[in-house]
Chains A and B, each alone.
Chain A
Amino acid sequence: MEEEKVEVVIVGAGLAGLSAAYVLAQEGVDTVVVERGDYPGAKNVTGGRIYMYPVARYFPELWEDAPLERHVTRETLTMMAENCSTSITLDSDRFREEPYHSYTILRSKFDRWFGDKVMEAGAFVLPKSRADDVIMEDGRVAGIRMGDEDEIPADVVIAADGVLSLMAEKAGLRQAQQPKHFAVSVKEVIELPSKTIEDRFSLGPNEGTAQLFFGDLTKGMMGGGFLYTNINSISLGLVVGIESLMERDPKIEVHELIEDFKARPEIRNLIAGGEIVEYSAHVIPEGGVNAMPRLYSDGILVVGEAAGFGLNMLLTVRGMEFAVGSGVMAAETIMKARESKDYSAASLSYYEELVKESFIFKDLHSFRNVLSMLENPRLFNFYPQAVCDIFEKLMWIDENPKAKISSTVIREGISKFLNWSTIRDVAGMLRI
């Protein structure tokens, strides 16, 4: 069936695809977004929270009434040992000042709303439609195929089809994906009344908490856990490197890890009485600059997670800001290419220039060594235990006279940390 040609076809109505579509539609470009879910957001999963400063510059009017959850006012990092944990919490007035620093978010709710905004701006979002292949004409991408019969010819295709990006693969922009460059994440959404959440986490109305965990919860494997408070639910989950999971002996399954994590007293009491309403899973790109596909070719651009734009920065985890940023940069590239109607690789290479000059590439580059550091199992077993041990000794009172704080810290510090492995680990830390 021959379809009418459009200027731009975008595969995937996630943050990257919708951001590109929103900008293009506002500029009057004939744009279609193809989405395989029943509605935008039906296939999208985040931890999650979105940082506003990197994205507020793009379509500021849109963020004002966006259906985000709570603005994060408390940041906690928890190091978990086998039977104890140590947490550090930052509670700062700066997080209570507008414009807010970050918000928790549920993607099915957000993306669906964003999809409506994109339609209002004039682009067409086509749900329940899976793109199966790219149309190749004289060596260039000339649209997409859906099933055996339908196709959408286009001047340019934006592959915004997520972390696995079958479109980038079909267009020959990348090789098979390697387990070492990806992590798998599982998440539960647990409903609790808004007031209960605020009381349990010591939050004001609309205030939220974000908590990251590392240590025993991943049983020595690369990864960590997360907890975000939404308006009337908690997003709780964990992330494990796929290669770590494959290599671990004895084997353990991720769905078991999350059950063990929830059984910990630190978590159990926070979610008590809550009702699980959804279980989801998502693959996260962690290969950074080392695993990026080619970002463009004749007639095609790759954005968001499809381009490998995700980053574990140890204390913060990023992805959605890169999706929005890269989507807008792809739209800007198309606007420029449209002036001369030239959608060749040479013309679209402007997109890579924009990405390289932006926070996306700079952050990916600055934090390129985090992954190798995270492969160190001592980070997940030795350090959380050592920190807990010292803290516990300081807090513990028994029938014996108590040693001075300084001597406890010095004695324990020397015995635990003054050794070759720790010095090597610290040296590794300094690279990130």
Chain B
Amino acid sequence: MNIESKLGLDVFKIDEEPHIIINQEICRSCEEKFCLYVCPGKLYSINRETGDMDVECSGCLECGTCRIACVHGALDWNYARGGFGVQFRFG
């Protein structure tokens, strides 16, 4: 099963306001871009048109791996707002 379908099994309450904000300036100067492959939901990608780093907050498992792995400090990371984001039924 691919990761998109797997995330589709979870309950998400989607907030229009993103809870992770990327500082594109720092991101562009980062060579490693750890966020692209440490995220268990594979939610980071480089936008083909703009070259910016995108994050798909609506599928975020709120684990915080990217926050720890982004050693350059490009992420203004918060949990989803109260009552939003992933709602685990098993946990």
A115 CB, min distance to chain B CBs, angstroms: 13
Find chain B residues with CB under 8 A from A109 CB.
90-91
Looking across the interface, which residue of chain A has its beta carbon closest to that of B65?
A184
B31 CB, min distance to chain A CBs, angstroms: 12
Find chain A residues with CB under 8 A from B34 CB.
246
Find chain A residues with CB under 8 A from B86 CB.
42-43, 280
Q: Are A242 and B42 in contact (CB under 8 A)?
A: no
Asked if A409 CB lies within 8 Å of chain B CBs, one says no
Find chain A residues with CB under 8 A from B28 CB.
none
Asked if A364 CB lies within 8 Å of chain B CBs, one says no
Asked if A189 CB lies within 8 Å of chain B CBs, one says yes
Looking across the interface, which residue of chain A has its beta carbon closest to that of B34?
A246
Q: 0/1 per residue, A43-71, Cβ < 8 Å to B?
A: 11110000000000000000000000000
A-B pairs under 8 A by CB, number: 135
Q: Are B88 and A177 in contact (CB under 8 A)?
A: no
Looking across the interface, which residue of chain B has its beta carbon closest to that of A245?
B38
Asked if B87 CB lies within 8 Å of chain A CBs, one says yes
B36 CB, min distance to chain A CBs, angstroms: 8
Which of the candidate stretches A75-83, A123-131, A371-379 sits at the interface with the other chain?
A: A123-131
Q: Are A255 and B89 in contact (CB under 8 A)?
A: no
Find chain A residues with CB under 8 A from B63 CB.
45, 184, 281-283
What CA separation (Å) do A177 and B65 show in the bound complex? 11
Looking across the interface, which residue of chain B has its beta carbon closest to that of A34?
B82
Q: 0/1 per residue, B58-78, Cβ < 8 Å to A?
A: 000111110111010100001
Q: 0/1 per residue, A168-191, Cβ < 8 Å to B?
A: 000000001111001010101100
Find chain B residues with CB under 8 A from A178 CB.
68
What CA separation (Å) do A126 and B69 show in the bound complex? 31
Which of the candidate stretches A85-93, A95-103, A134-142, A271-279 sits at the interface with the other chain?
A: A271-279
Asked if A20 CB lies within 8 Å of chain B CBs, one says no
Looking across the interface, which residue of chain A has its beta carbon closest to that of B32?
A246
Partner of A36, one of B40, B61, B64, B82: B82
Supposing A46-B91, A179-B71, A278-B9 touch, asked if A36 and B80 sit within 8 A by C-beta, the answer is: yes
What CA separation (Å) do A25 and B17 show in the bound complex? 36
Q: Are A42 and B65 in contact (CB under 8 A)?
A: no
Given contacts A106-B90, A130-B79, 20 further A-B contacts (CB under 8 A): A39-B87, A41-B88, A42-B88, A45-B91, A46-B91, A108-B91, A111-B91, A127-B83, A129-B83, A130-B82, A163-B64, A184-B40, A184-B63, A255-B42, A259-B1, A276-B6, A278-B89, A278-B91, A280-B91, A281-B40
Interface set of A (CB-CB < 8 Å, partner B): 36-39, 41-46, 106-109, 111, 127-130, 132, 146, 163-164, 166, 176-179, 182, 184, 186, 188-189, 233, 242, 245-246, 251-255, 259, 276-283
